[in-house]
Structure 1
Amino acid sequence: MFGVIEDVRIEALATSLSKNRVPVEERVGDLIKPKRLARVIAGTGVEKLSIVQPGISASDLCVASAERIFDEGIVKREDIGAVFFVTQRPDYPLPATSYSIQDRLSLGTDVLAFDVNCSCPGFVYGIYIAASMLSNLGKKVLLCCGDVTSNPDITNPKDTSFLTIMGDAASVAILGRTPENCKKKIYYNIDSYGDRFKKLYEPRGAARERKRTTADGEMILEPENYSMMDGMAITDFTLKEVPDNITALLKYVDLSKDAMDIALVHQANGLIVNSLAEKLGMSSEVMPFKCANIGNTDMASIPTAMTELKKDGADYTKYHTALLSGFGAGLSVASMIMDLSDINILPTNEI
């Protein structure tokens, strides 16, 4: 699905994650022999993981990120007309966590609030949703996105494919209309492959089937109680459909890969990012992997990479043509080309 969004920009962006960085070898314990673990770490490029303290949720990280933007005076609270939270792990089954975020940020009552269930493409989906709302909202949109996957009720404590790469983080972006003297366009291409939804999914825990527990309420250690991934199918999807989606978007916009000032793709792991860069003929400088000491933070991974770049001194005024591409559960891939040269971006925050 191709399209163009006019006169919308990301005004501000902030990410919060844990100051607690757990080495991968500590996270997996004795589940993998040292020599094999060394090969896994070398392959994924992930050495440490952002793991929050027990009791901290993704909404806590979102609130911390938004408060930084408000405290800096970049955007006023009264300018926000909608808040929505892209996550797969809300604080409660009911109501949407966005209402809690609205209250904790002391936003007005004249604010739309809702949650969106989406995984790794979620940040790009969020930009699309926010842009669609801005056409008649009259105010700015606060986009929140993130997950805390380190909870043992979420990640199988025996599944090394997740334990070696998954980290905790959440980001917020404030989107608004562009000034009259600064017209801009966002080009997008979004594809969905629902016929493959079981290639990365969590069978239990919702309406279809409850998670199974012991008589004492303890989670039973069965794969179906946790996220399950067909690694080969996901790799094939990532190296076929994702570059095809990006290549088609470049053709739609009539741009070459060399026109990209920066390309930020879902930070699944270093191997995936580097393989995509090679597949698309882009350098690692243009398509960097920035989460070696953070991990795969799901829908927050692209904005986390953005704030990590800022922390490392990146000059965003040079990023007039930026590619963003998220891909994962669904299966889905969502890509955008946009101008980031006037974004107000804060370095990654640790709490």
Structure 2
Amino acid sequence: MIYARIAGTGSCLPGTPVTNDDLVARGIDTSDEWIATRTGIRARHFAADGQNSSDLAETASRRAIEAAGIQADDIDLIIVATSTPDYIFPSTAALLQARLGIRNESPAFDVQAVCSGFVYALSVAEKFIRSGSHKKALVVGAEVFSRILDWNDRTTCVLFGDGAGAIVLEASDQPGILATALHADGAHNEILCVPGTVASGKVLGDPFLRMDGQAVFKFAVKVLGDVAQEVLAATGSTVDEVDWLIPHQANVRIIQSTAKRLGLPLERVVSTVASHGNTSAASIPLALDTAIRDGRVQRGQRLVLEGVGGGFTWGAALVQY
């Protein structure tokens, strides 16, 4: 039996933290109290002009490769989850492959499932490895959401940040990714979207993120609870066996409500939303790397990684770390 296990993690947060008070100083009609009480967010990071998803992905990837104790050219599959790619094409994964100096002609491609993107990418990579076709996959979530925010819309622009997180997933005879579950329902596409496109050299439609916050909240809490139970049931596991829930970091209220629905105490939930904001596909690997490096997540522990995002998409992975 071939399993896929996490060999190393890395992350990247650009620049210095931008606090809620910093946003107020920039002229946004809001306050630290308004943002913090509704979302739990105190700060986030923004990429500099000219700094793209591939830049953040490269830094996070190099740290993950170092943590895994391998060389970049050992990687034989790259999957990048992003909704904010450098270009329409080539893929951010192909750009990342070149930047890492990987010349082994291994496949590299992007996955676009917004905030669920990392779980989608992880699930795909796991299946490549378990098939025996590939041995070491680099799975990355990287976003520069600051480029698609309407700074006149205080209900959305205060929520998001930029960043990247990466893992090296390798073939092993020891269990790693125990189960994954992926879902989508395109009927809910309008409650969280960027309804614009590029054609004939022009941006057509609305190029900014739009969200119905209340609708997203209700949908997210339900599906995150359901999909976590789904991966547990797939392995005959119970919530009591979960050491850490590492959810998409969108809003502390969603995180708390999901934990309550699952019957998990908050002491067993990794939350980084206060200092990162919502970094979309980067949020789960960022939180995972943070918790590994600060010593909370230990080898042998069981983790539930889960995300929900525009589309609507959602998914979860049960991981033996």
Match of 2:208 among 219, 222, 226: 226
1:328 aligns with 2:320: no
TM-score normalized by structure 2?
0.91
**Could you say what secondary structure the match of 2:178 adopts?**
strand
Shift of 1:76: 1.7
Matched, 1:58 2:53: yes
Distance 1:178 1:265 in 2: 25
In structure 2, what is the Cα distance between the partners aligned to 1:228 and 1:91?
Answer: 21
- Given that 1:203 and 1:209 are in contact with CA atoms closer than 8 Å, whether structure 2 keeps it comes out as no
Structure 2 gaps, min length 5:
none
- Pick aligned residue for 1:101 from 75, 91, 96: 96
- Please report how far the alpha carbon of residue 254 of structure 1 lies from its aligned counterpart in structure 2 after TM superposition: 2.4
Determine if contact 1:6/1:186 at 8 Å carries over to the other structure.
Answer: no
Counterpart position of 1:314 = 296
Report the aligned-residue RMSD.
Answer: 2.3
Asked whether 1:170 is paired with 2:152, we answer: no
Are positions 1:265 and 2:235 aligned together? no
- The amino acid across from 1:187 in the alignment is A
1:191 aligned to 2:186?
Answer: no
**Percent pairwise identity:** 26
* Residues 133-152 of structure 1, C-alpha deviations (whole Å, 9 max, x = no match): 2224243111122111112x
Partner letter of residue 111 of structure 2? V
Is contact 2:191-2:210 (8 Å) kept? yes
What's the CA shift string for 1:44-84, capped at 9, x where partnerless?
A: 11111111221111110111122234456711223111222
Pair 1:33–1:162, CA change in 2 (3 A): closer
Provide closer, same or farther for how the CA distance between residues 313 and 99 of structure 1 changes in structure 2, counting only shifts above 3 A.
same
Aligned to 1:225, what secondary structure does the other structure show? coil
Q: C-alpha distance in 2, partners of 1:92/1:339?
A: 35
Instruction: Please state whether the residue corresponding to 1:293 is helix, strand or coil.
Output: helix
Q: Offset at 1:6?
A: 5.6
**How far does residue 318 in structure 1 lie from its aligned partner after superposition?**
4.7
Corresponding residue SS for 1:316: coil
**1:17 maps onto 2:9 in alignment:** no
Q: Aligned equivalents of 1:40 and 1:96: distance in 2?
A: 34
1:277 equivalenced with 2:259 (yes/no):
yes
Question: What's the CA shift for 1:208?
Answer: 11
Residues of 2 paired with 1:308 and 1:67: CA distance? 16
1:97-246 alignment runs, 5 A limit: 97-134=92-129, 135-151=131-147, 154-179=148-173, 182-184=174-176, 186-206=178-198, 211=203, 224-246=206-228
Cα offset, 1:225, TM superposition: 2.6
Match of 1:80 in 2: 75
| Change in CA separation of 1:81 and 1:327 when aligned onto 2, cut-off 3 Å | same
CA drift at 1:7: 0.9
> Secondary structure, in 3 states, of the residue corresponding to 2:197?
coil
**What is the TM-score with the length of structure 1 in the denominator?**
0.84
Structure 2 CA distance for partners of 1:276 and 1:109, relative to 1, 3 Å: same
Cα offset, 1:312, TM superposition: 2.7
Cα 1:318/1:161, change in 2 over 3 Å: farther
CA 1:311–1:13 in structure 2 vs 1: closer, same or farther (change >3 Å)? closer
Letter in 1 for 2:314: V
CA distance in structure 1 between the partners assigned to 2:10 and 2:241 by the alignment:
26
Deviations 1:298-328 (A, max 9, x none): 0111111112213433241251x21111111
CA distance in 2, matches of 1:170, 1:332: 20
Q: Give me the whole-angstrom Cα distance separating, in 2, the residues matched to 1:259 and 1:295.
A: 29
Structure possessing the higher radius of gyration over alpha carbons: 1
Specify the code of the residue in structure 2 equivalent to 1:238: A
Distance in 1 (alpha carbons) for counterparts of 2:134 and 2:234: 30
Cα pair 1:169 1:300 within 8 Å, conserved = yes
Instruction: Tell me how far apart the structure 2 counterparts of residues 330 and 208 of structure 1 sit (CA, whole Å).
Output: 25
- Contact persistence 2:111–2:120 (CA under 8 A): no
Question: What whole-Å deviation, never above 9, does each CA across 1:176-203 have from its counterpart, x for those lacking one?
Answer: 1113xx2455212222111111211111
- Aligned pair count reads 319
Change in 2 beyond 3 A, CA 1:211/1:257: same
TM-superposed CA distance for 1:262, in Å, is 0.6
> Match of 1:293?
275
Q: Unaligned 5+ residue runs, structure 1?
A: 213-221, 341-351
